[in-house]
Amino acid sequence: TEELLRKTEKLSVVGELAAGFAHEIRNPLTTIKGFLQLLKKETNEKHVAYMSIMLNEIDRLEMITNEFMAVAKPQVANHQMEDLQLLTESVNQFLNPQALLKNVEMEMVVKQDIPYVYCDRNQLRQVFINIYKNAMEAMPNGGTITTVMSVEGECVSISITDEGSGIPESLIPRLGEPFYTLKEKGTGLGLMVSRKIIESHQGSLIIKSKVNVGTTMTINLPVDKQQ
Ligand code: ADP
Ligand code: MG
């Protein structure tokens, strides 16, 4: 318990710093962007091209700081006994409109009664959203995302499988490194944050993937962790 508390505390101190840092960066960025946009309107063609590049880079910085602020927002961990089936279903419902737009079908299979788990529901909601988002982004032409919930030994297991591009095996160990992304508009923060949250619940995240077949992310969370 002490170890867990210490870890959580460390996480939240870093998170608070990072959120403050991101906030401080965002304001000057907004100013720079505004003036660049003004300049771009009254300058020659070559400079317009340079400015477009600068604006693109600023957009990227904005995206990263926004995502950082969203995930690092200082929040007190609030662990309670939670119904993960309900939580997973509600995240599925929440994402359904976006999925429909992208021709993605969300399926859910619950293999048995799922016991309550001692966890922070907001943090886990974030994990599910990050993983579903990646799954959708891996299927630009649509497909099916299948969520399977079961009990495996001492753990509730939630596996999320997509039919997307997959990940080359050699890259899998790097996933979850901060800012490691293979996407043009990615931030490389989603999996890092998800991993941190799952580990702070003493759970595990297992990634299995096959290029051009799809990816399965399995979250295992121990039951009976109530202290
Ligand atoms: P981001 O989505 O911003 O790139 P993430 O940390 O969420 O950052 O993911 C890191 C990288 O892992 C992604 O850029 C992508 O290459 C790979 N990845 C994650 N999930 C999947 C998936 N379901 N299918 C294929 N690649 C994935
Ligand atoms: Mg992502």
- Per-residue pLDDT of 119-136, as tens digits, reads 999 889 989 999 999 999
Residue 196 has a pLDDT of 87
For 127-160, letters b (16+ CB in 10 Å) and e give bbebbbebbbbbbeeebbbbbbbeeeeebbbbbb
Report which protein residue has its CA nearest ligand 1's atom 11: 181
Residue 3 has a pLDDT of 59
Separation of CA 115 and ligand 1 centre (Å)? 30
Q: pTM for the whole thing?
A: 0.79
Tokens encoding 162? 């997509």
Separation of CA 90 and ligand 1 centre (Å)? 23
Low-confidence ranges of the chain (pLDDT < 50): 227
CA distance 198 to 39: 46
CA distance 227 to 223: 12
Element (H, E) at 8: helix 2-41
Mutate to test the pocket of ligand 1, among 60, 127, 133, 134 (most ligand atoms within 8 A of CB): 134
Residue 148 has a pLDDT of 98
Residue 227 has a pLDDT of 45
Separation of CA 99 and ligand 1 centre (Å)? 17
CA distance 46 to 152: 61
Tell me, using a 6 A CB cutoff, whether residue 214 lines ligand 1.
Answer: no
User: Is the C-alpha dihedral spanning 199, 113, 163, 125 positive or negative?
Assistant: negative
3-state DSSP call for residue 217?
strand
CA distance 164 to 141: 9
Q: At what angle do helices 190-200 and 2-41 cross, to 10 degrees?
A: 160
Query: What is the average pLDDT score of the chain?
Result: 88
